[in-house]
Structure formats: structure tokens, C-alpha cells
């Protein structure tokens, strides 16, 4: 069984400040992990994904995430927030040999960026 927990339904940062969005996962098989972003009135789009090639994954728009197996975490960071980063962010997990293609999404974290 797989699950994802995103800590904090809302996060507020000032423009230029560090962005940290937390995600912990549970998986009975080696996981694939994703971060998707959803802008208002749009569908989700992929920011980055972990597929075991490297534990530090770089994505679009300056975001990156680090896979930490010992902590079962996959937190998303960006050194300096921009107003355009305001959106909802979803962490997701899927697995190898899970017998299907189900990707389990977290509840989402809405990021607010203050000027």
C-alpha cells in the first residue's frame, strides 16, 4: 500500500524567501515520487520526479527535491520565492510492481507569496 502526507495545507512566504514544502511517503515497494504544481483554473503539471537515478532532483522553475529514504521524505524547496510561484503543490507516489499504474496524490499545499 502507498500513501503520501503533505505537512501543511497552506504555506506563506515572502518574495525572495526560501520555499519549503514537506512531503512524507509510505510505500511497500521502492517508490517513484513526484511533485506537481496546479495554477488556478488549470490542470496539474509536473515539476520534478524521483526515479532512483539521483537523490537530489532538480525540476523546472528553480525547484528541487531530495529523496531521503531514512526519513521517508521528499521535500520540495526553492531558494528564493517569486510571486509567480503562488499555486497549489501536490506530492505523489507510485510504485514499481504495484500491479498497476495508480499514482497516489497528497492533499496538496497551497503556497502564498507575499510581496
Partner 1 sequence: DAGVIQSPRHEVTEMGQEVTLRCKPISGHDYLFWYRQTMMRGLELLIYFNNNVPIDDSGMPEDRFSAKMPNASFSTLKIQPSEPRDSAVYFCASSFGQASYNEQFFGPGTRLTVL
Decide: is 11 part of the binding site for partner 1 (CB under 8 A).
no
Using DSSP bridges, classify how beta strands 10-14 and 109-114 pair: parallel, antiparallel or unpaired: parallel
One residue of 90, 91, 109, 113 binding partner 1 per CB under 8 A = 90
Distance separating alpha carbons of residues 73 and 35, to the nearest angstrom: 12
CA angle at residue 15 from 12 to 21, to 5 degrees? 40
One residue of 35, 73, 95, 113 binding partner 1 per CB under 8 A = 95
Sole window of 10-18, 42-50, 63-71, 76-84 interacting with partner 1 (rule: CB under 8 A): 42-50
**In angstroms, what is the C-alpha Rg of the chain?**
14
Decide: is 96 part of the binding site for partner 1 (CB under 8 A).
yes
Interface residues with partner 1 (CB under 8 A) are 32, 34, 41-46, 49, 51, 90, 94-96, 98, 100-103, 105-108
Amino acid at each position: 500500500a502507498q500513501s503520501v502526507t503533505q505537512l501543511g495545507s497552506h504555506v506563506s512566504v515572502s518574495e525572495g524567501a526560501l520555499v519549503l514544502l514537506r512531503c512524507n511517503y509510505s510505500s511497500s515497494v521502492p517508490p517513484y515520487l513526484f511533485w506537481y504544481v496546479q495554477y488556478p483554473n488549470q490542470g496539474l503539471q509536473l515539476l520534478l520526479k524521483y526515479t532512483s537515478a539521483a537523490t537530489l532532483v532538480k525540476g523546472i522553475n528553480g525547484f528541487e527535491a531530495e529523496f531521503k529514504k531514512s526519513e521517508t521524505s521528499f521535500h520540495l524547496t526553492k531558494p528564493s520565492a517569486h510571486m509567480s510561484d503562488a499555486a497549489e503543490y501536490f506530492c505523489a507516489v507510485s510504485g514499481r510492481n504495484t500491479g498497476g499504474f495508480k499514482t497516489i496524490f497528497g492533499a496538496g499545499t497551497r503556497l502564498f507569496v507575499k510581496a
